[in-house]
Each structure stands twice: as C-alpha cells, then as structure tokens.
C-alpha cells in the first residue's frame, strides 16, 4: 500500500523525508520519490522506480546534499496505473510547475479527466491516474486559488477514495493533505519546530506523540509549528490531538481500538493492492504476470480444485464459484484436511489452487504436497511470500493485503477474493470463453470495488443495534446460496471466533432437510440476500424462518423495500455488478461479528484458543 510522509519546518526536509518514508516502507512499495521547495522557491522533485531498491537509490541520489528545502512531501508507490518506472513514481508536478502532489487511491474517472486536460493543451508525462490531480490543482493555483481550495476543488472532480498531499510554490511554507473515503489514512502532528503528516502514526513518533487523524471529508494545512483542519466546505474544524502511547503496537493501530477494526477499514486499500500491476484500467485488461502456465496448459485444464482452511477455504469457495461461472471449468473447493487424506483422483489436467494467507498452515501444505506428487499444476494465493507454500507451488499469486495482526482474517480474505476474481477472468479469456469486451466490462466494475467496499464500511452505524440484539442469542443460523454461501459460512465463522456464539453457516436450500427442526424464537437467522437470480428463493427461506417464530436479519441490496416486509432487521449494502456482491455482503458479516464481540466484552484481536498460524494439524 502506498505511503505518504510530508514535512514543514525549519530543518532540511530532504533526509527527514527519506527517514519518514523508511518508517512507512513496511506497507510495501515499488517506487519512491520526494518533492521539496528549494531556497529560491522552486519545487524540486527526485524519484525512482527501481522496485525494492527505490528508497535506497533515492536516499543515495539525494545524499550528496545538493538538494535542500524546509518544506516537502514524499511518497512510496505501489503501482496501480502504469508500469513501475521513474515517470510513474510520485510526486507528480503540474505542467506549469507550480504544484507537486502525491496520491493514494484510484481515480475511477481519470480517463475522462485526462481527455479534458489533454484537450486543454496539457501534456501528460506519466501513465498514472494520479497525474490528473497535479494538473487540476496546478491550474486552479495558477488562476488564483489557494493550495487548499485547489486541492478541495480537484478532489470534488474525482470519483473514488483518495488521500492527497500537495505543495505549492505559491505558498512555500505549507503542505496540504486531504482525505476522501478510505484510501489509506492521513495523520498529522507537530512540535515547536515542525509539523508532519503521514499515512502511519509510526512515522510521526520521532516528532510527537500527540496526533490528529483526518476523517474522510477533511483537509489539513500544516506549517512549522501549526496544524489547521477544515471540512470540504472550507470551514475550520477544532479537534484535540490524541496522545499515542509510545509503542509500536499502539502506533500501528492508529485511531482504531483494535487491529481487527483497522484491518476491516483497510479493505478498500487491500483490494487496490491486489489489483496493482494486474488490472490496466485504461486498456480495460487484466493480466497476472505471475501465472507460469502456458496458454495451452490453461486450455487443457479440465478441473480446478481450490483448497484451504477456515477463512481461506471460504475464499477458495468464492474462487470456485467465479472460476466456474466465468471460465466454465468445473471447480470446487475442499477443506485441505480432508483433501490430504482422501487420496483424491487428480493429475496433470487438474489445476490445484491453495489459498493460505500465512503459507504455513499444516493441512494446506500437506494437501499441496499431495497435489505435487500427483503431478497437478499448482498455484498458491497467499500473503507471506517466501513461505513454505510458495516453495511447493509452481507459482504464487501474492494478495498483498499487508500484514494482518488480528487473529481472525478479514483483509486477507477480501484480497484473496480479489486475486481469485482476476485469476478467473484470466483463465476465462485464455480459454476463449470471454472476449476483450467482457473483460473490459469486468475491469469497469472492479474499478469501483474499493469505493463500493468503502461505502459498505459506512454501515457500522446500522450494525451496532443489530449486534446488541444478536449478542442475546446462544444460537445463530447463517443462510446463503450460490456465491453468497461462502459469505454465510464466513459470517458464522467470524461470529463463533469473535463472539463465542454458536453459529451455523448453511445452504439455504438445505433447511428443509433437517435444520428447520431448530427454528424458533431461541435462534436468530442472518440471511445474505442481495438481489440476483436466487433472491426470490431467499425470500421464501426468510418466510420459512418467520413462520416458525424465528427472528431474521437480512443483508440486502440498497433500495430493496420488499425484504423489509419479511425480515425483522435489514442491513443494506450498495448495489453493484453481481460478481461483486459477495464483497458487499462480506463487510456487514465482519462488522456484525466484531460489534457483537464488543457487546459481549470479548477481545476481538485475540480470540480464545486460536492462533494466527496453525502449523500443526
Ligand atoms: C479465521 C481464520 C482462520 C484462517 C485459517 C487458515 O478468521 O483466520 O480460519 O483462515 O487458519 O489460515 P491461512 O490462511 O494462514 O492458511
């Protein structure tokens, strides 16, 4: 995930920007750059696109002391739009040279804005979406706006979640930061000699332990010893700083009470990272450079088996459903502890895809070993590159969600789902099941995924009362069908792990075959029922529960008034392409479990009896 660090003070900003970027380096990056305003008031920018060596190379390049200035911005980039190279690295300057900006997020309407700017005579130097911001801000500043007004104006033109930092030669003492939605946070702090801004609290600790977190829809100006906060209308906001305990763990949590809430909130960012370098939004294409299978091998696959444990198995189930529906290859997900012992019939035409965030889960590794012995081509979808699983698999698809500290998986699931969706599209296109137009339409839909998930995250208000209610039950039933079934399973798993409430995930069509015997006032049912082909069937299932005196909470598509007539509680999620619906319904499932755990006084970060990495069977 991209990182930001900015400084306005009295010392030479250059080495401080490099140090600041080093402290956000753990987020991952492939490019790095800084802009400073030099003594003559000119913005000077140095950047590198040398993958992992970028930051060190940048430090060496500016280490000769030639460049100096007391105000500047720095950025570590993880490419989403355009190659990893120097031109595409941030910061980007406006063509009139008056401003320089760095940006986190995806600008969904960047092509439209780029066309408009090109028509007005502006020449683009990079392939990034972010460069449009530099020109929009630069134009307003040149026509007399303050940097703050110009950044707000530019942000109002773009679609998508965004964090921006900017400097202007016209106001050489300040840095402006802005946050809209969830594209990574911005935190600011000051001491008598400086004010600093970063994506992570940890980068501010050398300066201060008193920090202010920007909320979505806020803009900040920092200047030596001063912080000024505003809303997007330009009205001043008063906020007392929070004192951050001086330890790494508290600093990593930022303004979140738990790692889990932080990791849930990071999901728009995690999705974006998982698409980085894979989805070309301008060309409307998806490619997975990591896939080592030849086109001929892909065409010869006659079955796909996805395997994993717990939440990763649910990602695998989602993967099976999209691979089968998009690529039309028979696909199924199976628990690794079962797969490893049942001597499955698999061979060179069976593609085995293991899903494991840690890459160390004992049963998953054993199932993978079995597939290797059977001669099946094998992929692993994982967070921790270099782990044992990546050594067994033929190729690795990193999910790049960033380190997950909460024991219960959240952002690694959504990033695995994003990766598997892209794999399904690549398999489908290579096999000729879908053409370039269909891929382009998938790209257009998934471009909106980070902001749709960010909108769904705003549901927390609706969730709290429902969580209080569910916390009163000892038994919960979670129902889903089709691609919603893994989400129902995941909802139940999260509730068990975090709130210690007995919860069963069930295919809704299976109810009459036994589970109906349990229905009644003592068991509440959570139903995942977005509007799709199976929606009406879900309505009938809700009625079945109601007819037996059960209480129902439904997760439904925004605008669906019908469902309110049958369910007791409705949580609405944004309308979207059917392929993306599981991403939408997953969010309330996570939030519900988290909130219910809090209502019952549990520690959501460290559920009892559970470990983050399960290295024994
Ligand atoms: C649930 C959870 C676990 C893991 C499972 C597999 O919240 O975190 O169910 O998903 O232990 O772990 P990995 O993905 O590391 O193989």
| CATH number for the domain that contains residue 74 | 3.60.20.10
What are the φ/ψ torsions at residue 565 (nearest 5 degrees)? -75, -20
Q: Same domain for 425 and 458? A: no
Position 246 scores a pLDDT of 47
The tens digit of pLDDT for each residue in 59-100 reads: 999 999 899 999 999 999 988 788 899 999 999 999 999 999
Long-range contacts of 431-438 (CB under 8 A, 24+ apart): 431/298, 431/299, 431/327, 431/328, 431/329, 432/299, 433/326, 433/327, 433/328, 434/326, 436/284, 436/285
Atom of ligand 1 nearest to the CA of 382: 14
What the block records as the tokens of 301 is 């696959």
Does the active-site annotation cover 2?
yes
3-state helix, strand, coil in the chain (%, to 5): 40, 25, 35
Q: Same domain for 292 and 386? A: yes
Percent of the chain with pLDDT over 90: 82
Strand-pairing partners, residue 554, are 527, 570
**Average pLDDT for the chain:** 93
What the block records as the tokens of 538 is 């879900």
The tens digit of pLDDT for each residue in 571-613 reads: 999 999 999 999 999 999 999 999 999 999 999 998 888 777 7
Q: Which of 227-231, 289-293, 390-394 has the lowest mean pLDDT?
A: 390-394
Strand-pairing partners, residue 480, are 507
CB 415 within 8 A of CB 274: yes
CB 486 within 8 A of CB 332: no
- Domain span including residue 243: 3-252
**CA distances to 51, 335, 548 from 216, in Å:** 30, 40, 44
Q: Same domain for 418 and 475? A: no
Instruction: Calculate mean pLDDT across residues 483-496.
Output: 98
607 is a domain residue? no
The tens digit of pLDDT for each residue in 19-65 reads: 999 988 876 788 999 999 999 999 999 999 999 899 999 999 999 98
Pick the catalytic residue: 546, 575, 606, 612?
Answer: 612
Ligand 1 centre from 398 Cα, in Å?
16
Q: Same domain for 163 and 207? A: yes
91: cis peptide before it, omega within 30°?
Answer: yes
Q: Same domain for 246 and 271? A: no
- Which residues in 424-441 are b (16+ Cβ under 10 Å) and which e? bbbbbbbbeebeeeebee
Q: Which of 310, 399, 401, 493 for a ligand 1 pocket mutation test, highest count of atoms within 8 Å of Cβ? A: 310
- Which residues in 350-373 are b (16+ Cβ under 10 Å) and which e? bbbbbbbbbbbbbbbbbbbebbee
Count how many domains the chain has. Answer: 3
Q: Which of 172-181, 197-206, 310-319, 384-393 has the lowest mean pLDDT?
A: 384-393
The tens digit of pLDDT for each residue in 419-434 reads: 999 999 999 999 999 9
CB 605 within 8 A of CB 252: no
CB 151 within 8 A of CB 197: no
Ligand 1 centre from 320 Cα, in Å?
18
The sign one gets for the Cα dihedral 178, 383, 299, 339 is negative
Please return the burial class of 25, using the count of CB atoms within 10 Å of its CB with bins 0-12, 13-18 and 19+: middle
The tens digit of pLDDT for each residue in 441-463 reads: 999 999 999 999 999 998 877 89
Please name the residue whose Cα sits nearest to atom 13 of ligand 1: 356
What the block records as the tokens of 163 is 């964090």
Ligand 1 centre from 612 Cα, in Å?
7
- pLDDT beyond 50 at 503: yes
Residues with CB under 6 A from ligand 1: 308-312, 356-358, 361, 364, 408-409, 493, 497, 613-614
C-alpha angle 399-53-206 in degrees, rounded to nearest 5: 85
Instruction: Calculate mean pLDDT across residues 289-303.
Output: 97
- pLDDT beyond 60 at 247: no
| CATH number for the domain that contains residue 387 | 3.40.50.10490
Ligand 1 centre from 579 Cα, in Å?
24
E strand or H helix that includes residue 304: strand 303-308
- pLDDT beyond 60 at 208: yes
CA distance 194 to 225: 5
Q: Same domain for 327 and 400? A: yes
Please name the residue whose Cα sits nearest to atom 10 of ligand 1: 311
Task: Order across the sheet with 502-507: list the strands.
Answer: 502-507, 475-480, 523-528, 551-557, 569-573
Ligand 1 centre from 354 Cα, in Å?
12
- Confidence label for 245 from pLDDT (cuts 50, 70 and 90): low
What the block records as the tokens of 419 is 């990766």
Tell which residue, 224, 229, 192, 222, has the closest CA to residue 208: 192
Instruction: Calculate mean pLDDT across residues 455-481.
Output: 94
The tens digit of pLDDT for each residue in 305-341 reads: 999 999 999 999 999 999 999 999 999 999 999 999 9
Q: Same domain for 192 and 68? A: yes
Q: Which of 614, 615, 616, 617 for a ligand 1 pocket mutation test, highest count of atoms within 8 Å of Cβ? A: 614
Q: Same domain for 234 and 154? A: yes
**CA distances to 56, 86, 96, 217 from 30, in Å:** 11, 10, 27, 28
Place of tokens 């030596």: 224
The tens digit of pLDDT for each residue in 132-148 reads: 999 999 999 999 999 99
336 is a domain residue? yes
- Confidence label for 403 from pLDDT (cuts 50, 70 and 90): confident
- pLDDT beyond 80 at 565: yes
Domain edge (last residue) among 218, 252, 286:
252
């Amino acid at each position: 995930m991209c990182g930001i660090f900015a400084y306005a003070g009295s010392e030479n900003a250059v080495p401080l920007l490099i140090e600041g970027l080093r402290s956000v380096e753990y987020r991952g990056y492939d490019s790095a750059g800084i802009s400073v305003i030099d003594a003559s008031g000119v913005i000077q920018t140095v950047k590198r696109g040398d993958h992992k060596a970028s930051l060190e190379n940048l430090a060496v390049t500016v280490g000769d002391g030639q460049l100096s200035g007391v105000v500047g911005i720095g950025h570590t980039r993880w490419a989403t739009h355009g190659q990893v190279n120097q031109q595409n690295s941030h910061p980007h300057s406006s063509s009139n040279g008056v401003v320089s900006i760095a940006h986190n997020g995806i600008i969904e309407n960047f092509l439209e804005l780029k066309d408009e700017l090109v028509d007005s005579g502006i020449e683009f130097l990079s392939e990034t979406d972010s460069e449009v911001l530099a020109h929009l801000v630069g134009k307003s500043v040149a026509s007399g706006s303050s940097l703050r007004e110009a950044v707000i104006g530019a942000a109002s033109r773009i679609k998508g979640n965004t964090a921006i930092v900017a400097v202007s030669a016209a106001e050489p003492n300040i840095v402006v930061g802005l946050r809209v939605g969830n594209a990574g946070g911005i935190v600011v702090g000051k001491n008598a000699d400086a004010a600093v801004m970063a994506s992570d609290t940890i980068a501010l600790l050398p300066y201060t332990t008193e920090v202010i977190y920007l909320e979505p829809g806020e803009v900040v100006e920092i200047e030596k010893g001063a912080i000024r906060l505003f809303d997007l209308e330009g009205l001043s906001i008063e906020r007392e700083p929070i004192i951050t305990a001086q330890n790494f763990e508290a600093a990593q949590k930022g303004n979140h009470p738990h790692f889990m809430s932080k990791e849930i909130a990071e999901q728009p960012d995690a999705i974006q990272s998982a698409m980085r370098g894979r989805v070309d939004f301008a060309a409307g294409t998806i490619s997975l450079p990591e896939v080592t299978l030849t086109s001929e091998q892909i065409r010869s696959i006659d079955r796909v088996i996805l395997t994993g444990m717990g939440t990763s198995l649910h990602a695998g189930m989602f993967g099976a459903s999209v691979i089968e529906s998009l690529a039309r290859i028979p696909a199924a997900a199976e628990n690794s502890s079962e797969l490893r012992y049942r001597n499955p019939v698999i061979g060179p035409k069976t593609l085995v895809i293991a899903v494991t965030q840690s890459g160390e889960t004992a049963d998953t590794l054993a199932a993978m070993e079995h597939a290797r012995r059977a001669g099946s081509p094998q992929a692993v979808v994982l967070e921790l590159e270099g782990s044992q699983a990546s050594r067994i698999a033929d190729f690795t698809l990193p999910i790049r969600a960033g380190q997950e500290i909460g024991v219960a998986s959240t952002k690694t699931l959504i990033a695995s789902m994003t990766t598997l969706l892209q794999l399904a599209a690549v398999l489908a296109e290579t096999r000729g099941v879908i053409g370039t137009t269909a891929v382009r339409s998938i790209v257009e839909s998934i471009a909106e995924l980070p902001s749709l998930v960010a909108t769904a995250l705003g549901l927390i208000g609706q969730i709290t009362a429902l969580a209080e209610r569910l916390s009163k039950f000892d038994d919960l039933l979670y129902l889903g069908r089709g691609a919603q079934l893994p989400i129902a399973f995941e909802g139940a798993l999260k509730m068990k792990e975090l709130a210690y409430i007995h919860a069963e995930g069930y295919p809704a069509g299976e109810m009459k075959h036994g589970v109906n015997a349990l229905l009644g006032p003592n068991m509440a049912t959570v139903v995942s029922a977005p509007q799709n082909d199976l929606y009406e069937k879900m309505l009938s299932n809700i009625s079945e529960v109601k007819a037996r005196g059960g209480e129902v909470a439904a997760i439904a598509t925004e605008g669906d008034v019908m469902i309110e007539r049958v369910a007791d509680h409705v949580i609405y999620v944004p309308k979207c392409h059917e392929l993306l619906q599981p991403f939408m319904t997953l969010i309330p499932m996570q939030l519900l479990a988290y909130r219910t755990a809090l209502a019952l006084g549990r520690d959501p970060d460290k559920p009892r009896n559970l470990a983050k990495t399960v290295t024994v069977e």
